[in-house]
A and B are shown apart, each in its own frame.
Chain A
Amino acid sequence: MSGSRQRKSDRVGVYICHCGGNISDHVDVEKVRADVERIPGVAVARTNMFMCSDPGQELIIEDLRQGIVDRVVVASCAPSLHEATFRSAIARAGANPYIYEHANIREHVSWVLHGDKATAKAEKLVAAAVGKARLLEPLDPIHVEARRHVTVIGAGIAGMTAARLLADRGLEVVLIEKSPYLGGHAARLDRVAPTGERAADLVSELAEAVLEHAAVTVMTSTRLAGFDGYVGNYDLRVRPVLAGPAEDRNGYVPFHGVVGGNPPELTIKTGAVILATGFRSYRPRRGEYGYGDLAGVVTLPEFIRLFSAAERSGDCLVLDGRTIRSVAMIHCVGSRQIPGIHEEDGDGRLNEYCSRTCCSAVLHAACRIRELFAGTRVHDLYRDIRTYGRGQEELYERASKSGVLFHRFTAEAPPLVEPGDGGETGDFPLRLTVRDGLTFGEEVRMGVDLVVLATGMEAGDIDELVAMMKLPVGTDRFLQEVHPKLAPVETSVAGVFLAGTAQAPMTIGEACNGAAAAAVKAASLLGRGYVELDPFVADVDPALCRGTGDCLQACLADGALEMVEVETEEGAARQARVIAARCLGCGACVAVCPTGAIDLKGWSLKQYEAMVDMIVADIPDNA
């Protein structure tokens, strides 16, 4: 990689984009073109209204085909938008896609500077890109063999869906579940909104499919104990979950005994991982709306369980032997919390997001009560109603038609739940008072037998998994995708995908969508049996490496560098070797190498120096 041996290209093509005025309203694009065309090494400089358009790309392809240029610089928007576009145009012209350099003259120039300053900075950035482009060399993507095997973690609705779809596509699947059961949270529901299907039917259908599928191995009561490898070649160590608190402890565990032997550990060799670890249901603080203090205050999941064993007295609902004449359901418990208003949890955190599923779940439960037990009144206390999906607004309307009475409160003035006093609200065990926005801000009061709290979703307890797999976590503590729109199930760890509520609160339908997307992503990643990665990784020059091992010390990626014995002209020696698939391309090794033996492909020190030289050089003014 040493630059001295490298020939500089003198056929750089520069393509400058107007971005339909986004750039050219502030940057004198024609002046940039005329000036950079005179920079040594530039064969041609052209402009176009939209370089990313077909005619724009065609300019580049034509120049390459005719041999006018052999290196390409596009000056346009951020490379995150169109670098891939232009690399692919170069490949279509039959050239190597890595002879490309990008200059960002929109976000870095025209959106932040105006007039002469903008034009001058654009010229500097383009000149620097030209300097680097002259030293670019054709590179080959890293070719990594990939196992056509996927491991899905979590056997809820999302995990089972992903496992089934992958197996149907012909991939081998291992489905790991820490509990003894398949079904996750859905198995704790009864009938689900908005369609009223039985959760048991959904869970049973999926579970049967994965259990019977020859390509799916289901491992229940199993957890992840180790994670190693790289995209296409991950090694997952799994071990059985012990009943009781004994895990990872030695000696006598009080009231359990002594942990005997080592639980068998197994290594799964897999190509990709889908995380379908689900959520945790919000547990109200003691005293939040009387929860834990007052009998008759329950969470929605608790209510669903009780209601599945509902009995009847006349046309009134009877739960656990208690006749329920009137029930209040409170929305947004543990969701949409506001700093300064809501109390933070033990770790000083608030759930500021909307849990998205509770409005419909509450309304569905309310409809079921009213439609089956006409004698039971339902009060619905909400901040906002968010019935956003197909069939959900209809549920809201159905609740009104079935006689549910709504009251609206603000976060600042939540409903007050107190024991009933037998006074004006009658002989109800509980009394609820709320400043009601629908009644023009007046306080209204009602007697109830039961209060149901619509508790939201929180991120699951997967800290260990997050640390082990180095997973990105959002401020809401859910696992985070690379891009909410353009890469919605990918994580920053290559070959690790997200499915279902591990990512965010979502409905069963949305969880299945996410699972299907993750399955498709994993299948297309591994389908060819190999994976191609960008070649921007460290590279060792054997002629210069003296085997100091400094690079290993500096390396940030586990196992990306190793020391190997090599035969040289002076006999056996130790030298560093790069495991390309594990290298992050960060350059930490380059900075510490005492002999300059290690460098980054596509981002070499010589290329950086050339850029700096061009930034400080005077650009000939053509004006």
Chain B
Amino acid sequence: MTVVSPEFAEELKEYGDDTALQCFNCGTCVAICPLVDDSFPRRLIRYVQIGARERILASGRDLWKCLHCGLCSRTCPRQADPGEIILGLKRYVLAAWREE
């Protein structure tokens, strides 16, 4: 059970683009991603949408597998810019770790 916290989007704004809600979960980014399995990057973008903060903080391993090849952003039909969101999440996660 995850409680949806839409206000998480506000928290993320200072770390990168605010485009996650434009994603309509088609999965094109997952299909095109050459490196990471397990529904990456859509899973993390969905976590941003519903504000699953703890899951994002625990996803460092996946986040740092991303090489920013840009294929997902180039093929996204909704201009949600998944690559840029992943980059923003790296910054967010780093900041959170530092605070710890």
B35 on interface, CB distance cutoff 8 Å: no
**Residues of B contacting A424 with CB < 8 Å?**
3
* Complex-state Cα separation, A379 to B21, whole angstroms: 12
Q: Are B22 and A439 in touch, CB under 8 angstroms?
A: no
Q: Are A406 and B3 in touch, CB under 8 angstroms?
A: no
Listed stretches B43-51, B59-67, B82-90; interface member: B43-51
Q: Are B46 and A438 in touch, CB under 8 angstroms?
A: yes
B75 on interface, CB distance cutoff 8 Å: no
Q: Are B2 and A445 in touch, CB under 8 angstroms?
A: yes
Q: Are A425 and B2 in touch, CB under 8 angstroms?
A: no
Chain B: CB-nearest residue to A423: B3
**Residues of B contacting A436 with CB < 8 Å?**
50
Q: Are B4 and A405 in touch, CB under 8 angstroms?
A: yes
Q: Are B2 and A442 in touch, CB under 8 angstroms?
A: yes
**What is the minimal beta-carbon distance from B81 to any residue of chain A, in angstroms?**
13
Listed stretches A347-355, A396-404, A539-547; interface member: A396-404
B78 on interface, CB distance cutoff 8 Å: yes
A463 on interface, CB distance cutoff 8 Å: no
A443 on interface, CB distance cutoff 8 Å: yes
Q: Are A443 and B2 in touch, CB under 8 angstroms?
A: yes
Q: Are A439 and B39 in touch, CB under 8 angstroms?
A: no
**Residues of B contacting A403 with CB < 8 Å?**
6, 9, 21
Q: Pick from B3, B23, B50, B78: contact of A425, CB below 8 A.
A: B3
**What is the minimal beta-carbon distance from A304 to any residue of chain B, in angstroms?**
24
Q: Are B4 and A444 in touch, CB under 8 angstroms?
A: yes
Q: Are A439 and B78 in touch, CB under 8 angstroms?
A: no
**Residues of A contacting B3 with CB < 8 Å?**
424-425, 444-446
**Residues of A contacting B2 with CB < 8 Å?**
439, 442-445
Docked complex: A367-413 residues within 8 A CB-CB of B: 377, 379, 385, 396-397, 400-401, 403-406, 408
A255 on interface, CB distance cutoff 8 Å: no
Tally of A interface residues using CB under 8 Å:
24
**Residues of A contacting B4 with CB < 8 Å?**
379, 405, 444-446
Chain B: CB-nearest residue to A402: B21
B96 on interface, CB distance cutoff 8 Å: no
* Complex-state Cα separation, A438 to B47, whole angstroms: 10
Q: Are A438 and B25 in touch, CB under 8 angstroms?
A: yes
**Residues of B contacting A377 with CB < 8 Å?**
6
Docked complex: A1-45 residues within 8 A CB-CB of B: none
Q: Are A397 and B49 in touch, CB under 8 angstroms?
A: no
**Residues of B contacting A446 with CB < 8 Å?**
3-4
**Residues of B contacting A444 with CB < 8 Å?**
1-4, 50
Q: Pick from B1, B22, B39, B78: contact of A445, CB below 8 A.
A: B1
Q: Are B6 and A405 in touch, CB under 8 angstroms?
A: yes
**Residues of A contacting B25 with CB < 8 Å?**
406, 408, 438
Chain A: CB-nearest residue to B49: A405
Chain A: CB-nearest residue to B22: A400
Q: Are B78 and A400 in touch, CB under 8 angstroms?
A: yes
* Complex-state Cα separation, A425 to B51, whole angstroms: 13
**Residues of A contacting B52 with CB < 8 Å?**
439
Chain A: CB-nearest residue to B18: A403
* Complex-state Cα separation, A573 to B49, whole angstroms: 88
* Complex-state Cα separation, A377 to B6, whole angstroms: 8
Q: Pick from A404, A440, A442, A443: contact of B21, CB below 8 A.
A: A404
* Complex-state Cα separation, A439 to B56, whole angstroms: 13
* Complex-state Cα separation, A348 to B88, whole angstroms: 54
**What is the minimal beta-carbon distance from B21 to any residue of chain A, in angstroms?**
5
**What is the minimal beta-carbon distance from A363 to any residue of chain B, in angstroms?**
12
* Complex-state Cα separation, A442 to B39, whole angstroms: 14
* Complex-state Cα separation, A188 to B4, whole angstroms: 34
* Complex-state Cα separation, A404 to B24, whole angstroms: 11
* Complex-state Cα separation, A104 to B2, whole angstroms: 64
Q: Are B24 and A405 in touch, CB under 8 angstroms?
A: no
Q: Are A440 and B39 in touch, CB under 8 angstroms?
A: yes
* Complex-state Cα separation, A440 to B38, whole angstroms: 11
* Complex-state Cα separation, A424 to B5, whole angstroms: 11
* Complex-state Cα separation, A261 to B2, whole angstroms: 67
Docked complex: A239-255 residues within 8 A CB-CB of B: none
Q: Are A400 and B50 in touch, CB under 8 angstroms?
A: no
Chain A: CB-nearest residue to B25: A438
Q: Are B1 and A400 in touch, CB under 8 angstroms?
A: no
**What is the minimal beta-carbon distance from A475 to any residue of chain B, in angstroms?**
33
* Complex-state Cα separation, A444 to B4, whole angstroms: 6
Q: Are A440 and B1 in touch, CB under 8 angstroms?
A: no
* Complex-state Cα separation, A324 to B25, whole angstroms: 27
Q: Are A443 and B6 in touch, CB under 8 angstroms?
A: no
Q: Are A405 and B21 in touch, CB under 8 angstroms?
A: yes
Instruction: Give me 25 A-to-B residue pairs in the complex whose CB atoms sit less than 8 angstroms apart, sorted by A's number.
Output: A377-B6, A385-B24, A396-B24, A397-B22, A400-B22, A400-B23, A400-B24, A403-B6, A403-B9, A403-B21, A404-B21, A405-B4, A405-B6, A405-B50, A406-B24, A438-B25, A439-B2, A439-B52, A440-B39, A444-B1, A444-B2, A444-B3, A444-B4, A445-B1, A446-B4
Residues of A within 8 A of B (CB): 377, 379, 385, 396-397, 400-401, 403-406, 408, 424-425, 433, 436, 438-440, 442-446
Given A408-B25, A446-B3, 7 extra CB contacts under 8 A? A397-B22, A397-B78, A400-B78, A438-B25, A439-B2, A442-B1, A445-B3
